Chain A
Amino acid sequence: MRKSQAKKLIIIFVFLIVTGLLYEFPKYIDYYDDLVHVYFFDVGQGDSILIKTPDRKLILTDGGNNNSVLYRISEVLPFWIKRIDYVVVSHPHADHIFGLISLMESYEIGCLKYGGTGDTISKVEEELRNTISTESISVTDDCIGGVMKYYMPGGNDHTYNPNLKSLVSIYSYRDFDVLLTGDAEIPEQIKALPSFSSDIEIIKVPHHGAKDSFYRPLLLALKPEAAVISVGENNAYHLPSASTIDGYEQLGIKVFRTDKDGSIEVISDGYLWSIVE
């Protein structure tokens, strides 16, 4: 190879490295800062929420109805991060667990908290359980005990509706609290209400904003300042319900939607919080 050709190649490679660093730099800054980042991913009709704690632990609650959670995660994490410390399955409906199957095959998982009890309800859940087994993922009840409070108001009651056994969790850092509600419906919210003791800042609207999940006393008690609805554009269920959105807005709660706003990022230092535009 001639000297001038080698020089050109080196220039091209340096240029590529610089552009690559420019692309990765914002993700690097976000990952290594001392703030809480909560990402409500736009995964279509389904839920997937990632929390990055100030000590760089990653908590993923649900994985959506397709594999786009993998793409969303890599949009916010540096490419060398291939481990999720905690994975939470709120309940085993496909729109909450499908993406977790690919995730488990691609990422190292610290431990998993499974919000489903009883028999397998679908082929997708059967596949998820097989993957948990083949990937030797540790499924423990106290998996998220150290980082989040969680409730299963539906307990182990044998019920036909997995929503009624949905796991509800709260992540808190100093004065900042995020409530993740899965698909909890009103009976479950009534049971869960006495467990909550303080105001919260952000609520993930239960059951994608369905009418059957709007429970005003819960909102009056917890006084959230913002609500996020995880919902797919033009979804077949016509969610969220207009009455649910009205209900939140009447209480002065600002509503964000993943179908309109795309993935939504909330950051906080534990005292102040903001939505990243």
Chain B
Amino acid sequence: MRSEILVPILFLLFLTVSTVSRVYLYYSTLNVIQAGHIEGLILSHPFEKDGYQNFQIKNINIKVDPFPKYKLGDYVDVIVAKPSNERVLYRPKIELVNVKKVRVLNVISDYRFRLISIVKRNIPEPYSGLILGMTIGYKDDFPSDFLDLLKRTGTIHIIVVSGYNVSIVISGISIIFAMFGKRWNLLLSIIFVLIFAGLAGFDPPVVRASIMGIIAVIGSSYGNHRFSLYILYVTLASMVLVNPSYLTDIGFQLSAVATATVIVSSMFISGAKAFISTVFITTFVNLAIFPIISYYFGTISLISILSNLLVIWIIPFITFGGFFFFLFPVFLLKICLIIFIDFYLICIRLFGSLEFGYVQYKFSIADMFIYYFVLLFGYLMIFKWKSYLNEKIAS
């Protein structure tokens, strides 16, 4: 076997074995939380939900009162009064350890608050919440009826920053920084992506997309689909190696499946027109991710493909428009953003009102196993059929 094939295969094998061992060790030593002190750094932006301020310390979910506000980069000492069987602590006593806080992250957090304030002071809800969700991953405290509407239409991914948003940002900044020459473009793009990941709070999909984005900027390698799959696998395995709890994070799972599907489906439709590609990729991605959504939320949207096709194209406009609004909060831009979001709101209200658009069903692990087996088999058949057609045309 040639060395250029052998080396990557050995590397993949080594990475896989290391990751599996790390996951096994992590979950086999994951005990109940003991009474005492848990110290750690807040590495994601705390958010409000169900009357609690939520954040994680050492993979333990901490739920505290909304005030005082904690922020990214704060180092806290959580006092656990009694042992707990769950990885969640409700209203524990918390003390800030100021000497250990990470100031750079605090500065990013303060800057994020300023951006939130700019948008919230100028634009009402739900427009401001949607803009901030798509640009800096702000998790707004939307009312439950609005969130139900998003779930019914399968468009809840739109209100959070995802790999798609990160790739939009990376494409945009690569174009903007291209004028500075290749070396500066690379450096500025990497710095910008890191700041962006910090603003978005280092959520798993953002971390995944940022790593892949940086690799793409360095190697300009997105053209080769097989190489993209290789990078995706290495990125995901490395993330799990560093933090095994990512494996059970729904954002991580959705991001991994959606990205793999985008790469694989791009193989089938290379050379197709943009509209056809969008229809195919949206359909494939929705088919690939709905079992995960069903498993966690107990719902299946039957209209998600249609509603996503109708509204997905507004995401780049709102993401870019939102970033420009941070810099130039002018009336005209505000109107444009509101017009785009009004279209989205009309679509989801229209589709959300359809009685048949939504069923309640929770996929079991067995269901998922069978479904993904059939899906992969289907992909393989399409791939074989396409190869057969190509050969026939060539001959």
Contacts and interface: CB of A to CB of B under 8 A. Distances in A.
Given A20-B343, A71-B126, A105 B117 contact: yes
A211 interface: no
Contacts of A222: none
B342 interface: yes
Nearest to A43: B143
A124 interface: yes
A66 B124 contact: no
A74 interface: yes
B124 A123 contact: no
Interface in B336-353: 338-340, 342-343, 345-346
Contacts of B129: 71
A265 to B, nearest CB: 15
Contact of A16 (B66, B128, B142, B343): B343
B125 interface: yes
B340 A262 contact: no
A127 B67 contact: yes
Contact of B146 (A43, A71, A124, A127): A71
Contact of A68 (B120, B124, B142): B142
Contact of B141 (A67, A77, A79, A127): A67
Interface in B70-123: 117, 120-123
Residue from A20, A22, A43, A262 with most neighbouring chain B CB atoms (10 Å): A20
A23 B346 CA distance: 7
Contacts, number: 77
Interface in B265-308: none
A123 B91 CA distance: 14
Contact of B125 (A70, A124, A126, A262): A70
A106 B118 CA distance: 9
A82 interface: yes
Interface string A49-83: 00000000000000001111011111001010010
B120 A126 contact: no
Nearest to A22: B346
Given A66-B141, A68-B141, A124-B67, A20 B125 contact: no
A249 B15 CA distance: 70
Nearest to A81: B124
Contacts of A43: 143
A24 B127 CA distance: 13
A20 B335 CA distance: 10
A42 interface: yes
A48 B146 CA distance: 18
Contact of A74 (B67, B117, B127, B145): B127
Given A73-B125, A82-B122, A124-B65, 13 more contacts: A16-B342, A20-B339, A20-B343, A22-B346, A24-B342, A65-B51, A68-B143, A71-B125, A74-B127, A98-B66, A102-B120, A123-B66, A127-B67
Top 3 A-B pairs ranked by shortest CB distance? Answer: A74-B124, A20-B342, A68-B143
21 contacts: A19-B342, A19-B343, A66-B141, A67-B141, A68-B141, A68-B142, A70-B124, A70-B125, A71-B129, A72-B143, A73-B124, A74-B126, A82-B121, A82-B122, A105-B120, A106-B121, A123-B65, A123-B66, A124-B67, A127-B66, A262-B145
